């Protein structure tokens, strides 16, 4: 039976997916979102799903002890390992923000100190080296990074943000993208990507 808490969390994941797509933080079927349901299970977006028109009933329930159900997001392991390693994390948002990627490919990272909002919402940003998407190596590296920092930048790939809920994780992705945009603007003397 679906409880009202589960129904509310499913609706929040759907809304955050639409917000990511609307802001260009993901394109098409990119990105994935999850949130804890209880101490044994979490909700996860299905693989290859278009976040502009995700349905609450399409979200999968993943047990923390595994196995990952068929049809789950390709980054399911990253979400699973993050919940196993980080008891304080209640939700994870993974996106591919263009300015963060543009900055990272130049060998630079967004600086939280550039904005008061940055310092408050994302006091630390970790960097994860390049690993194949969906791999166990990437999943473990991200989980360890999110234990130290609320946001991890994955080299040549994107960002993973943890939060108490999906809205906090989304806000962190948004702030890191703004910080990256400001850093690029500074770098190029006014040209904003
Ligand atoms: Zn990705």
pLDDT tens per residue across span 67-114: 999 999 999 999 999 999 999 999 999 999 999 999 999 999 999 999
d(CA 161, CA 33): 10
42 C-alpha to ligand 1 centroid (Å)? 19
123 C-alpha to ligand 1 centroid (Å)? 23
Q: Is residue 81 part of a domain?
A: yes
Instruction: Output the domain CATH number for residue 46.
Output: 3.40.225.10
Distances (CA, A) of 83 to 54, 56, 117: 23, 21, 26
158 C-alpha to ligand 1 centroid (Å)? 6
Average pLDDT of the chain? 94
Q: Is residue 193 part of a domain?
A: no
Strand, helix or coil at 49?
Answer: coil
Structural domains counted in the chain:
1
167 C-alpha to ligand 1 centroid (Å)? 19
Q: Is the pLDDT of residue 193 over 60?
A: no
Note the pLDDT tens digit of each residue in 27-57.
Answer: 989 999 999 999 999 999 999 999 999 999 9
Q: How confident is the model at residue 118 (pLDDT cuts 50, 70, 90)?
A: confident
30 C-alpha to ligand 1 centroid (Å)? 6
Predicted local confidence at residue 109, as pLDDT: 95
Predicted local confidence at residue 186, as pLDDT: 78
Indicate the pTM of the whole model: 0.94
φ/ψ region of 31 (left if φ > 0, alpha if ψ in -120 to 50, else beta) reads left
Q: Is residue 39 part of a domain?
A: yes
Predicted local confidence at residue 1, as pLDDT: 62
1 C-alpha to ligand 1 centroid (Å)? 32
190 C-alpha to ligand 1 centroid (Å)? 29
Q: The tokens 């589960």 sit on which residue? A: 6
Distances (CA, A) of 84 to 8, 76, 98: 23, 12, 29
Predicted local confidence at residue 188, as pLDDT: 62
Note the pLDDT tens digit of each residue in 127-164.
Answer: 999 999 999 999 999 999 999 999 999 999 999 999 99
d(CA 66, CA 68): 5
187 C-alpha to ligand 1 centroid (Å)? 26
3 C-alpha to ligand 1 centroid (Å)? 30
Predicted local confidence at residue 2, as pLDDT: 73
CB under 5 Å of ion ligand 1: residues:
158
154 C-alpha to ligand 1 centroid (Å)? 9
95 C-alpha to ligand 1 centroid (Å)? 6
47 C-alpha to ligand 1 centroid (Å)? 11
Structural domain of 42? 4-188
Percent residues over pLDDT 90 in the chain: 90
Predicted local confidence at residue 28, as pLDDT: 83
Q: Is residue 11 part of a domain?
A: yes
Choose among 96, 103, 113: nearest CA to 181.
103
């Amino acid at each position: 039976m679906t409880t009202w808490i589960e129904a509310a969390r499913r609706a929040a994941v759907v809304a955050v997916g639409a917000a990511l797509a609307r802001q260009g933080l993901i394109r098409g079927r990119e990105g994935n979102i999850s949130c804890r349901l209880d101490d044994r299970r979490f909700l996860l977006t299905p693989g290859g799903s278009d976040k502009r028109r995700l349905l609450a009933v399409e979200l999968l329930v993943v047990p923390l002890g595994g196995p990952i159900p068929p049809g789950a997001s390709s980054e399911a392991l990253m979400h699973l390992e993050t919940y196993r390693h980080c008891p304080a994390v209640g939700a994870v948002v993974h996106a591919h923000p263009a300015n963060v990627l543009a900055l990272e490919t130049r060998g630079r990272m967004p600086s939280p100190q550039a904005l008061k909002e940055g310092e408050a919402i994302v006091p630390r940003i970790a960097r994860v080296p390049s690993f194949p998407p969906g791999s166990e190596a990437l999943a473990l590296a991200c989980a360890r990074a999110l234990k130290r920092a609320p946001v991890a930048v994955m080299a040549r790939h994107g960002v993973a943000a943890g939060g108490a809920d999906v809205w906090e994780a989304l806000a962190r992705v948004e702030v890191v993208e703004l910080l990256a945009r400001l850093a690029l603007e500074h770098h190029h003397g006014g040209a904003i990507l």
